[in-house]
Amino acid sequence: MNLIYINAAHINPINFYQGVVPIVKKTSFIFLLILFWANLKAQDLIIKNDKTEIKSKVLEITDTQIKYKKFEMLDGPTYNINKVDVFLIIYKNGLKEYIDNSVKKPQQNLGAQMVGIAQAMPANTTQLNSASKTDTVQKIFDPSLSFAINDGGTLYDIEYTYFGAGNRHGKLGLGIDFYHTFSGTPGSGGTFIFFAYKYSFGKTHDFSVWGNLGYNLSYVSSYYDSNYNRISGTHNYSSLWELGVSVYFSKHVGVTAYTSQGTSEWFGIVFR
C-alpha cells in the first residue's frame, strides 16, 4: 500500500483561506435560496373577487365557507371566508381550484361611499374668487396608463385613467381597469370601473398620491374539465377601492405602487 503524506509546513494558510472561503459562501447562498423558494411554494393562495389575496393553508371547503389558517400563523386560530367572496384557490402544489359562485353577492352601498369621498375633497370650485390664477378650474386632458403585477406574481393589471376637472395639483377623473391571471384554464379576472382623485406635488408634478373608488366585476370563464364536461362560468359584483403613489423619473414614464382593499399590493410602470 502506498501512503501519501502531506507536509502541513508547505501549506500556505492565506492561499488555503482564500480558496475555501468563496466556496463556503457560494454553498451557503445556494442553500438559503433553496430554503426561501421552498418556503414560498409551501403556501396556499386564496384570491378573492376584488383581486385581494390571502396567504394561507386551506383546511376545509364546505358548501358555503372556506376554512383556513393564515400562513404567518399556522398555529393560530382557524378563519372562515364565504365562498361567494372567492373565485380562485392556488394550492402549494400548483393546482388551481375555481370556486363556483352561483349566488350573487349583496351589493354594497356604493353611493354612500362616494358621498363620503366627495365631502372629503377640497372644495376648490367654491373658492375661485380668492384663488390664484394657476389654481382656477381647468379642463385638462391628463391621461394615465399603467401596467402592474400583484405581489404574488399571479395576476397582471392594466389600468387607464382620464383626469379632467381640477387645479394644478388636484384632479378628478374616471378610469377603467382590466386584470387577469397569467395562465390556467379557465381564464379568470375582472373589470373595475372607477372614479379617481390625484394630488400631485412639485412644479413638475413628478410625485402623486391617488385613490380610486368604483364597481368591480370578477369572472371565471366557461371551460371543460378533464372528463370533457363543460363547466359554466361565473361572475360576481362588488365595490372596490385602491390607494397608491406614482413617481415619474422622466416627462412621460414612472413607477407606481398601490394597494387594493388594503390586502393586496401591486407594483408596475406608469405612462402619462
pLDDT of 6-27, one tens digit each?
A: 555 555 555 555 555 566 566 6
Q: Give me the domain span that covers residue 27.
A: 10-39
Same domain assignment for residues 32 and 114: no
Same domain assignment for residues 19 and 124: no
What pLDDT does 96 receive?
A: 86
Same domain assignment for residues 120 and 231: yes
What pLDDT does 133 receive?
A: 47
Query: What average pLDDT does range 65-87 have in this prediction?
Result: 91
Residue 191 has pLDDT above 50, yes or no: yes
Contact 14, 224 (CB under 8 A): no
Residue the block writes with cell 394657476: 134
- 72 lies in a domain? no
Q: Classify 74 as helix, strand or coil.
A: coil
Contact 70, 76 (CB under 8 A): yes
- 96 lies in a domain? no
Same domain assignment for residues 122 and 210: yes
With bands split at pLDDT 50, 70 and 90, how would you rate the model's confidence at 246?
Answer: very high
Same domain assignment for residues 27 and 140: no
Across 154-175, b (16+ Cβ under 10 Å) vs e yields bbbbebebebeebbebbbebeb
Q: Which residues contact 5 (CB under 8 A, 6 or more apart)?
A: none
Of 128-132, 172-176, 217-221, the least confident: 128-132
Same domain assignment for residues 243 and 117: yes
What pLDDT does 60 receive?
A: 92
Same domain assignment for residues 123 and 211: yes
- 56 lies in a domain? no
- 258 lies in a domain? yes
Query: Which residue did the predictor score with more confidence, 205 or 138?
Result: 205
What pLDDT does 261 receive?
A: 86
Same domain assignment for residues 24 and 151: no
- 79 lies in a domain? no
- 225 lies in a domain? yes
For residue 153, give the nearest of 72, 225, 94 by alpha carbon.
Answer: 94
What pLDDT does 79 receive?
A: 94
Same domain assignment for residues 19 and 149: no
Q: Classify 60 as helix, strand or coil.
A: strand
Residue 107 has pLDDT above 80, yes or no: no
Same domain assignment for residues 20 and 146: no
Same domain assignment for residues 18 and 116: no
% residues pLDDT > 90 (the chain): 25
For residue 238, give the nearest of 46, 89, 49 by alpha carbon.
Answer: 49
Query: What average pLDDT does range 132-140 have in this prediction?
Result: 45
- 4 lies in a domain? no
Quote the cell numbers at residue 108: 354594497
Q: Classify 214 as helix, strand or coil.
A: strand
DSSP state of 147: E
With bands split at pLDDT 50, 70 and 90, how would you rate the model's confidence at 128?
Answer: very low
Contact 223, 186 (CB under 8 A): yes
d(CA 60, CA 55): 15
CATH number of the domain where residue 184 is located: 2.40.160.20
- 82 lies in a domain? no
Same domain assignment for residues 15 and 125: no
Query: What average pLDDT does range 35-53 have in this prediction?
Result: 75
For residue 223, give the nearest of 195, 186, 194 by alpha carbon.
Answer: 186
d(CA 84, CA 67): 13
- Domain total in the chain: 2
